Amino acid sequence: MRVPLSTLEATASVLMERCDMLARYSESPYQLTRRFASTAMQQVNGIVAQWMRSAGMTVRTDAVGNLIGRYEGTHSGARTLLLGSHLDTVIDAGKYDGIFGVLAALACVERLQQEQRRLPFAIEILAFADEEGLRYNYAYIGSKAVAGTFDCRALTLTDANNLTMSEAICAFGGDPAILRQGRPYWSPADLIGYYELHIEQGPVLEVLDLPVAIVSAISGQSRLRLEFLGQAGHAGTVPMSLRSDALCAAAEFILAVEAIASAESGLVATVGKLTVQPGAPNVIPGQVTLSLDVRHQEDRIREQACRDLHILALELAEQRNVSLVWEEIQASRTVPCSPRLIDQLQKALVNVNQTIQFLPSGAGHDAVAMSDLTEVAMLFLRCRGGISHHPDEMIKQADVEIALEVTEQFLSLLAEQEECR
């Protein structure tokens, strides 16, 4: 029996309710925090899997905990279009970063199913298990596994409880051995591309008074881990002139990071995490570990900034008689979005009477890792005040309706193209 097609308004309203609902699955009762391979992630995977099955999709969970739903195309042997985003969050997160992209893709499949419509390609929705890299300071675990670019050395990284990534994957029901094989899930020839809807996470669309934008490129980023190693000692007895205070070295470095990034247009650099040891009011800090995140749209500028910061850290360490450990954890290049897919997205915007606007992305997205496998495209959705990575993250249902309409158009245009192949 044919089920009447829900209005876009009803579909968007359900999507908003689902975002609210999934935000209740957290590792903390007071805030939304859902890290890779956590119990909260297991619960959310279970719920989304159920929604996928109800939308006529076959569902599987892969070796790393990604949830993957497949909606078949009109014929066997059809190519596949990948849609997705992530279900993990940062600490004290908002409800939409990542989750919106998964649920918007699902909403589009649900509408196809209601229409009993198949496209000349299969759709797979990828709900990635880790994009933020919160638990192991290693981002894109989910999408790298799919693209076959996961670096197996990361399996030995430990979380705050000294649990290795490998152990966490096993406890989640995954299989590190499969990851070690490092095989991409598809041959690129079988794919049409990867498309990700995501909130903008910045204020530009709000300023322009536009609901959506096509992403032009995603900035490259470097993630580093630094350690300043000084000499812990008694806060009351060691004279100032005889100290090797690791925190003072780190403090000087952090301010230099700010100054260097501020001096270069488009460069952003952040020290977001600091661990001070032994960490007592009456002990001179002997060891400080800090994270460093450096981004720019031009890889050359980001890489030069990292080199400059390394030299500066060495100089500061020498001046303060502390030693330095400098370790690059992860780096990703700037990823341009696919001109072929952008072309179709542009047509889709025109067809639904929306202004065409391009935006670069300063935030990292699963599309970065997926670009090693296939061409990628992204659509940004306006978010209130540009606020993200914060519980105040908010989107408007009316904008969601537009994003869904654009995506439906995009799928139809890709279907026409696929039929002409």
| Cβ pair 419, 120 in contact under 8 A | yes
Give the number of residues in contact with Mn ion, rule: CB under 5 A.
2
Could you tell me the smallest distance in angstroms from the CB atom of residue 200 to Mn ion?
A: 11
User: Residue 131: is it exposed, middle or buried by C-beta count within 10 angstroms (0-12/13-18/19+)?
Assistant: buried
SS3 356: coil
Instruction: Return the number of the residue (130 or 252) whose C-beta is nearest ligand GLV.
Output: 130
β-strands 376-381, 191-199 pairing? parallel
CB of 312 to ligand GLV, least distance (A): 23
The entry of ligand GLV, Mn ion, none near residue 176 (CB within 5 to 8 angstroms by kind) is none
* Stretch (H or E) spanning 319: helix 299-319
CB under 5 to 8 A by kind: which of ligand GLV, Mn ion, none does 252 bind?
Answer: none
How far is 62 from 141, CA to CA, in rounded Å? 12
Task: Give the nearer residue to ligand GLV in terms of CB position, either 363 or 413.
Answer: 363
Give least dist CB 267 to Mn ion, A.
20
Smallest separation (angstroms) from ligand GLV to the CB of 245:
30
Least spacing, CB of residue 415 vs Mn ion, in Å: 27
- Residue 120 or 364: which CB sits closer to ligand GLV? 364
Distance between CA 283 and CA 24 in Å, rounded? 40
Taking CB under 5 A as the criterion, which residues in 89-108 touch Mn ion?
97-98
CB atoms near residue 79 (< 10 Å) = 17
To the nearest whole angstrom, how small is the minimum distance from the Cβ of residue 132 to ligand GLV?
Answer: 6
Q: Which does 408 bind (CB under 5 to 8 A by kind): ligand GLV, Mn ion, none?
A: none
User: Helices in 86-140 by DSSP H: which ranges?
Assistant: 99-114
Q: Phi-psi region for residue 165, left (φ > 0), alpha (ψ -120 to 50) or beta?
A: alpha
Q: Which does 364 bind (CB under 5 to 8 A by kind): Mn ion, ligand GLV, none?
A: ligand GLV
- The footprint of ligand GLV (CB under 6 A) covers 132, 363-364
* Sole residue written with tokens 């989304």: 48
Alpha carbons 358 and 83: distance in angstroms, whole number: 20
Q: Which does 101 bind (CB under 5 to 8 A by kind): Mn ion, ligand GLV, none?
A: none
Where along the sequence are the contacts to Mn ion (CB under 5 A)? Answer: 97-98
